[in-house]
Amino acid sequence: MTPDTTERPQMSVEDFEELARRAPRHVKLEFLGGRLYSKYPLDVEDFEELESRAPEGVRLEYINGKLEVKAMPDGNHTSIFMWLLRQCMQQRPELDLAPERGVKAEAYRKGRARTDGTLAPVDRFRGDGEWSETDGVLMAVEITSHDRDTDQRDRIDKPIGYAEADIPVYLLIDRDNNTVTVFSEPKEGRYQQAPSYPWGSSVELPAPVNITLETEKLKDYAD
């Protein structure tokens, strides 16, 4: 069976209507061209209240001042995460690769991002609420999904947000281009290094991660 790689809208009309009904009174939402917008600028507190009221299955992010809906993972997305988890556990058993962790990103921690994976010392997130500080985080991971906002979100906005939060490494597993991009050396809100490697390469994740990824297996998940 050929995988479905059709770009999908952020959310369904039904989910939007339910979210709009639950939204705080002063938060006005719009749904245009399959995308979710806030009619008026949101602050972080408004976003967190809106997110806490979202219907089941709707995962919201607040990135670069924009309200975003994070796509639900498909089977290949999950398989890629598990592949990465196994490699991290084998090479760095003292670390956890936490799935779908909410982190406070961007300058002054004003953004709210849901990583596909967050590499940090074991029990780093014990006792945290929905959104964690990034102190002690070694790496953020994103695996692209086939939604129309992947390019702006994962390739442009999140590298800025994670660099501004001083996350040492951002790993982007790109299913559209069949590449792995390793962002590192955050400085003044930008990663100084961002080499890309085709699937099948041996990829060295720099300090403080210090993991070597053998990416031949990723070819099994090419869409």
The pTM assigned to this predicted structure is 0.91
Q: Is residue 5 part of a domain?
A: no
Would you say residue 97 lies in a domain? Answer: yes
Is residue 102 located within the same domain as residue 123? yes
Taking only the tens place, the pLDDT of each residue in 154-211 is 999 999 999 999 999 999 999 999 999 999 999 999 999 999 999 999 999 999 999 9
26 within domain boundaries: yes
Same-domain pairing of 44 and 133: no
- pLDDT (0 to 100) of residue 9: 55
185 sits in the region (left: phi over 0; alpha: psi -120 to 50; else beta) called: left
Is there a single domain that holds both residue 120 and residue 211?
A: yes
Nearest to 141 by CA among 57, 209, 91: 209
Indicate if 112 and 135 belong to the same structural domain.
yes
Count how many domains the chain has: 2
| Host domain of residue 212 | 75-221
Q: How confident is the model at residue 8 (pLDDT cuts 50, 70, 90)?
A: low
Number of Cα atoms under 13 Å in the Cβ half of residue 77:
21
* 21 membership: H or E segment, kind and range: helix 13-22
Q: How many CA atoms lie within 13 A of 183 on its CB side?
A: 28
Same domain, residue pair 153 and 63: no
